């Protein structure tokens, strides 16, 4: 694990895990289960078990087990019950200490979670794990990190797996969504720039007499253009403030009215100050750039041209 952490600054957390297939038995009812043993001090940073527990607590002692909400309903279990599990031909009684809900039906109906020591005790080896799981800062760097680990551990007969290689269809969907979202944003910015530019261009035409009078009084061409640059800049300021407030308002409304059956938001609220600041800056820059054409047009306007077109 120390070697893994030393290979890339992308790797945030590492956690050992022991996985074993088994069969839960309650009376005549049997359910297949993937019994997973974790070191919760490390695994909790990846999975966030504390937030997923709906009842009870994390396993702490030998033979404690945390089961999914679906298994609780299907086997009619409660915290404090004991249930048998058959692993490697042996039957062991497990103490149910709680239930979890990952909002994923497969996990809720097939996972059993215990301590690393419990699974190692079943195997009979306290120095063995099935895998070492990792979480990285940028999820789309998974393949690069995996390749680096493969190269480093090539002589250790270890295999590296990453979510991008295991979920190609999901990856294609995410990449397509990201690309389409970027294209929408770009075309929205282009339409906004054209809209502001056209409005200010019309303003130049409407104010041509006033511009001619100012130039006849001695105002410089660059000062005439600054009027429209500042107008675009001010539009950008108010537009950025209004856009941010509207976006935050819609976001809060969405998390208030779009709820799961249990009352939790379908999409949890996440506010990124850096992203909001970047969005406001883009709006400000776009509106200022949109005023360049009208500003140039006003600077080239001459008094003679104004008198001729009056």
- 194 in the same domain as 116: no
Average pLDDT of span 33-62: 92
Counting the structural domains of the chain, the total is 2
Distance CA 154, CA 160 (A): 10
What residues does 76 pair with on adjacent strands?
none
- 38 in the same domain as 20: yes
Q: What is the pLDDT of residue 309?
A: 60
Q: What residues contact residue 4 under an 8 Å CB cut-off, 6+ apart?
A: 11, 14, 132, 134, 149
- 96 in the same domain as 83: yes
- Report residue 308's pLDDT band, with 50, 70 and 90 as the boundaries: low
Q: What residues contact residue 16 under an 8 Å CB cut-off, 6+ apart?
A: 1, 38, 39, 42, 116, 129, 131, 132, 133
Q: Phi/psi zone of residue 21: left (φ > 0), alpha (ψ -120 to 50 degrees), beta?
A: beta
The radius of gyration computed from the CA coordinates of the chain, to the nearest angstrom, equals 31
DSSP secondary structure letter of residue 61? S
- 174 in the same domain as 202: yes
Please indicate, yes or no, whether the overall pTM of this predicted structure exceeds 0.95.
no
- 229 in the same domain as 158: no
- 152 in the same domain as 66: yes
Q: What is the pLDDT of residue 67?
A: 94
Per cent of the chain over pLDDT 90 is 34
Do 111 and 21 meet the contact criterion of CB atoms below 8 Å apart? no
- Report residue 40's pLDDT band, with 50, 70 and 90 as the boundaries: very high
Distance CA 246, CA 180 (A): 22
Whether the per-residue pLDDT at 73 is higher than 60: the answer is yes
Which of these three, 117, 147, 166, is where a domain ends?
166
* pLDDT tens string 85-135: 998 888 899 999 999 999 888 999 999 999 999 999 988 888 889 999 999
Distance CA 70, CA 110 (A): 9
Average pLDDT of span 142-162: 89
Q: Phi/psi zone of residue 76: left (φ > 0), alpha (ψ -120 to 50 degrees), beta?
A: left
- 184 in the same domain as 94: no
- Report residue 305's pLDDT band, with 50, 70 and 90 as the boundaries: low
- 304 in the same domain as 213: yes
Distance CA 206, CA 198 (A): 12
- 277 in the same domain as 256: yes
Q: Which domain holds residue 244?
A: 170-309
Which of these three, 111, 134, 166, is where a domain ends?
166
Give the least confident one: 88-97, 138-147, 216-225.
216-225
- 263 in the same domain as 157: no
Which of these three, 166, 185, 207, is where a domain ends?
166
Q: Which ranges constitute the DSSP H helices of 53-167? A: 69-75, 105-110, 116-123, 142-152, 163-166
Distance CA 194, CA 17 (A): 56
Whether the per-residue pLDDT at 310 is higher than 60: the answer is no
Distance CA 210, CA 310 (A): 11
- 109 in the same domain as 21: yes
Distance CA 194, CA 178 (A): 25
- Report residue 306's pLDDT band, with 50, 70 and 90 as the boundaries: low
- 129 in the same domain as 39: yes
């Amino acid at each position: 694990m120390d070697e893994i952490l030393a290979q890339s600054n992308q790797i945030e957390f590492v956690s050992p895990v022991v996985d074993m297939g088994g069969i839960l038995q309650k009376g005549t009812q049997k359910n297949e289960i993937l019994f997973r043993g974790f070191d919760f001090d490390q695994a909790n940073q990846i999975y966030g078990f504390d937030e997923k527990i709906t009842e009870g607590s994390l396993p702490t002692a030998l033979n404690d087990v945390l089961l999914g909400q679906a298994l609780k309903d299907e086997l009619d279990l409660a915290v404090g019950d004991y249930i048998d599990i058959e692993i490697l031909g042996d039957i062991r009684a497990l103490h149910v200490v709680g239930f979890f809900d990952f909002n994923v039906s497969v996990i809720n109906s097939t996972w059993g979670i215990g301590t690393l020591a419990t699974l190692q005790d079943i195997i009979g080896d306290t120095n063995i794990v099935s895998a070492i799981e990792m979480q990285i800062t940028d999820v789309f760097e998974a393949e690069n990190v995996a390749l680096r680990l493969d190269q480093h551990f090539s002589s250790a007969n270890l295999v590296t797996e990453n979510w991008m290689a295991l979920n190609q269809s999901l990856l294609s969907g995410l990449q397509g969504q990201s690309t389409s979202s970027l294209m929408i944003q770009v075309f929205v910015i282009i339409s906004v720039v054209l809209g502001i530019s056209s409005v200010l261009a019309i303003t130049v035409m409407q104010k041509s007499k006033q511009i001619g009078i100012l130039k006849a009084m001695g105002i410089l061409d660059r000062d005439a253009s600054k009027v429209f640059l500042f107008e675009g800049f001010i539009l950008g300021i108010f537009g950025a403030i209004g856009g941010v407030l509207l976006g935050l308002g819609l976001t809060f409304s969405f998390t208030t009215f779009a709820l799961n059956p249990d009352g939790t938001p379908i999409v949890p609220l996440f506010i990124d100050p850096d992203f909001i600041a970047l969005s406001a800056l883009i709006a400000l820059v776009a509106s200022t750039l949109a005023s360049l054409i009208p500003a140039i047009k006003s600077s080239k306007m001459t008094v003679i041209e104004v008198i001729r077109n009056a």
